[in-house]
Amino acid sequence: MLRPDGCLLLLLLLPLLLLLAPGPAEGEAAAERLSPYFGTKSRYEELHPELLRDPLSLGPPQPGFPLPPASCAPLQLGAVFRHGTRFPTRKQIQKLGRLHGLVQGNAGKCNASAASRLARWTMWLRPDMDGKLAPRGRRDMEMLARRLARRFPSLLARNRRFAFVSSSKHRCLDSAAAFREGLRQALDGQQQGTSQKHATTTEGIETNDKLMRFFDLCERFVKDIEDNDTAMHELDAFKEGPEMKEVVGEIANTLCLPVNDLNADLVQVAFFTCSFELAIKNISSPWCSLFSEEDAKVLEYLNDLKQYWKRAYGYPINSRSSCILMQDIFKHLDQAVTESKSSKPISSPVILQFGHAETLQPLLALMGYFKDEEPLKANNYHRQMHRKFRSGRIVPYAANLLFVLYHCDQATTPKEEYKIQVLLNEKLLQFPHTGETVALYTDLKNHYNEALQNCHFSKVCDMPKNTTQGDLYVKGTK
């Protein structure tokens, strides 16, 4: 029982304790409240909250998936993955170090609780982490492999051949290795209670940047978009626009910093640090307390503008450069159909390709997914509040695009014998041209005929002679 003088001391300290205690926007729920708006830095669990409780959950049944096993059997699985959760890049870590230095240098002049907590925050990110796969990213891929083995037990099974292809980046190679380990665990689980030995998945991982990093090898994209200072004019305009300036002003005020010491890039790094600490450490970072939900929506749009103009519908070259990957996917599908018709074993029943958000986003654009009627621009933020193009819902960490080819032996015509479904992040997609979740394989090939037959990587990506970069930007990509 407290003595009277103890009660008096508690009453005197209570206002100070309330001041230092995290508020509703600064406590454990802050990161969770902001997490739907982290864009390409989003956890995979944002799309599948059930995975937070059970990382092997398959979620609720999906009407129409898979096709009825009595009539249609999976023949081939082609999968394109984004790597798992990664550390920030060296540039992001350097920017964060600069921002943290500003906060620490101003700590004595600012009584705000958020600034005090950030000044005491330990800078644990090191430049040598530079985009590497985080331990959480390995777990992302292991659990994904085990779930896919449960979704496709006849394909991801013992004695099947698995083809692994990866970008040369370590985060992708490590993701492929982690997926392979998860697959081994799943195959062992299939044989529990038997005398069979442990499963082995010793297939090598082929490095193929031509497929997984086609954007680096597309000269026209590199010169017209990547290295062109004017290509991101909508993004640059939004950084200086009223919505972003308001966010920068609010953060400067919270940190007691001159508004000229901050800019959109530094504020975005603070926002991403909130996302990284949630994704990598599963904690609500003190950086999260700087942002309201409205701030987060503005910063999500900033990230989406970059993805839209650099990787998706902003310029035709963005998606056209991915036709080499689409052609590879359909080449394997064609081969499986040909072998099936000849009653031969399917030589490549499972193709697993590991790349980047920048691998998946152009391919999805080429296929016509998530296209808004109005382009994303600096001046239409409010009109785009309900846009289809939200990168965090399309290419979070561990994003996956699955092509499932079926053989239907009860088909009434040869054309109906082979059907296909496409899943994004383990959820059925409707085909853009029909609105259906299943298509006849021949019909889908016909729909994408132009990209499959007439899109030649060298013609699309080689720079024409005697043409300047500026001319190409105006004439060739807009």
Strand partners, 440: 419
If you count DSSP H runs as helices and E runs as strands, how many of each does the chain have, helices first?
22, 8
Please tell me which residue in 48, 83, 100, 356 is annotated as part of the active site: 83
3-state secondary structure of 440: strand
> Which among 268, 308, 294 has a CA at the least distance from the CA of 95?
268
449 burial via Cβ count (<10 Å: 0-12, 13-18, 19+) = exposed
- As a whole number of angstroms, the distance between CA 280 and CA 84 comes to 10
Please identify which residue in the block is written with the tokens 């069979």. 196
45 burial via Cβ count (<10 Å: 0-12, 13-18, 19+) = buried
Question: Residues with Cβ < 8 Å from 100, sequence gap 6 or more?
Answer: 118, 121, 123
H-run or E-run covering 335: helix 323-341
Residue 382 falls in the annotated catalytic set? no
> Which among 41, 22, 119 has a CA at the least distance from the CA of 278?
41
Decide if 221 contacts 317 (C-beta within 8 A): yes
Please identify which residue in the block is written with the tokens 């620490």. 104
3-state secondary structure of 428: strand
442 burial via Cβ count (<10 Å: 0-12, 13-18, 19+) = middle
Q: How many CA atoms lie within 13 A of 72 on its CB side?
A: 24
Active site (catalytic) residues? 83
